């Protein structure tokens, strides 16, 4: 196990095609689809920054240039709106660009989340790191301003346990075939020592209904485990399979994070998130 280190880097796997949102994603990355007036990708980066992370690594694929352009200056636009009230609309993204460092690396083959994370090894090196899937949009609990978003909660646990941490939530048993599912021993309220993980089991084969969602804090040893992980479901290298081995040989902690998740990889979840942010953030700031 590595000596105690802080988490300063985050990977964002963004190489997927976004086929559930066709035809919109024919020319626009799904991560750039807006929730009200900000793209999913900005929410994800802001969550990482709230957790104290300032180095962002994007694992991209073909057709994802818009993400790199978004986290860069647009001199023509800035010149056009300079001095007008419209310039204020760029304040949030300009702060993100000023405070963060952004690196982009191409995933040449679409071989699963585990392969995407392994592709990011050159960005991460031998230090602990976070992974955020922008499809899973997480918000802090309403009326609990002292509670941070999910990633900050995971990093707090990493600092305590110094091992791989995954976020989980309870889902309907009928939906287990869409998630990695954990089983484990509860060591604190909502916190589990993971004993087993299964990638996308049928409901009758699922040991629990506790599903892994798109938030991870991983130790650098995960790269060694991923190299040894054989392709599983759909011929892809699954991070769940690698973490299952980590749980056997080292330790993995799962936590039911405080807050709410919107599955923005689905159209119903995307619409639900849009309505939530319009009511609780956009209107409140007008």
pLDDT digits (tens, 9 = 90+) for 155-205: 999 999 999 999 999 999 999 998 999 999 999 999 999 999 998 899 999
Mean pLDDT (whole number) for 148-161: 95
Q: Check pLDDT > 90 for residue 281.
A: no
| Domain contains 3 | no
- pLDDT single digits (tens) 101-118: 999 999 988 889 999 999
Q: What percent of the chain has pLDDT over 90?
A: 70
Q: Which residues pair with 105 in a beta bridge?
A: 59
CA dihedral 59, 60, 61, 62 (to 10 degrees): -160
| Domain contains 2 | no
Longest distance between any two alpha carbons in the chain, whole Å:
61
Stretch among 88-97, 167-176, 262-271 having the lowest mean pLDDT: 88-97
| Domain contains 262 | yes
- pLDDT single digits (tens) 22-52: 898 888 899 999 999 899 999 999 999 999 9
Q: Check pLDDT > 50 for residue 1.
A: no
| Domain contains 23 | yes
| Domain contains 126 | yes
Long-range contacts, 276-282 (Cβ 8 Å, 24+): 276/139, 277/35, 277/36, 278/36, 280/142, 281/36, 282/36, 282/37
Query: For the whole model, what pTM was predicted?
Result: 0.92
d(CA 171, CA 157): 22
- Structure confidence at residue 2 as a pLDDT band (50, 70, 90): very low
What is the rounded end-to-end Cα distance, in angstroms, of the chain? 49
Residue entry with tokens 């352009």: 69
| Domain contains 219 | yes
| Domain contains 1 | no
d(CA 16, CA 272): 22
Q: Which residues contact 88 (CB under 8 A, 6 or more apart)?
A: none
- The overall average pLDDT reported for the chain is 91
Q: Check pLDDT > 60 for residue 98.
A: yes
The predicted pLDDT at position 79 comes to 62
- H or E element that contains 197: strand 191-199
CATH number of the domain that residue 51 is part of: 3.90.550.10
Structurally, how many domains does the chain consist of?
A: 1
| Domain contains 149 | yes
Residue-range definition of the domain harbouring residue 157: 9-285
């Amino acid at each position: 196990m590595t000596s105690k280190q802080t988490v300063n880097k985050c990977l964002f796997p963004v190489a997927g095609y976004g086929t559930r949102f066709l035809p919109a994603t024919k020319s626009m990355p799904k991560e750039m689809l807006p929730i009200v007036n900000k793209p999913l990708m900005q929410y994800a980066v802001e969550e990482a920054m709230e957790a104290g992370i300032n180095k962002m690594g994007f694992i991209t694929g073909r057709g994802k240039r818009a993400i790199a352009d978004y986290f860069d200056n647009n001199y023509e636009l800035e010149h056009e709106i300079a001095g007008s009230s419209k310039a204020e609309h760029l304040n949030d993204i300009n702060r993100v660009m000023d405070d963060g460092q952004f690196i982009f690396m191409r995933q040449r083959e679409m071989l699963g989340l585990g392969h995407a994370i392994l592709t990011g090894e050159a960005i991460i090196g031998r230090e602990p790191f976070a992974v955020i899937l922008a499809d899973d949009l997480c918000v802090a609990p309403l009326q609990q301003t002292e509670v941070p978003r999910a990633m900050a909660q995971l990093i707090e646990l990493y600092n305590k346990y110094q091992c791989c941490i995954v976020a989980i939530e309870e889902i309907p048993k009928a939906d287990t075939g869409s998630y990695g599912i954990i089983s484990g021993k509860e060591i604190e309220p909502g916190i589990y020592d993971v004993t087993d993980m299964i990638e996308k089991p049928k409901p009758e084969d699922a040991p629990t209904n506790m599903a892994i969602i798109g938030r991870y804090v991983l130790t650098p040893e995960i790269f060694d485990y991923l190299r040894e992980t054989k392709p599983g479901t759909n011929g892809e290298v699954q991070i769940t399979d690698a973490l299952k081995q980590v749980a056997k040989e080292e330790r993995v902690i799962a936590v039911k994070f405080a807050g709410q998740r919107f599955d923005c990889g689905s159209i119903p979840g995307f619409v639900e998130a849009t309505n939530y942010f319009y009511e609780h953030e956009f209107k409140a700031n007008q």
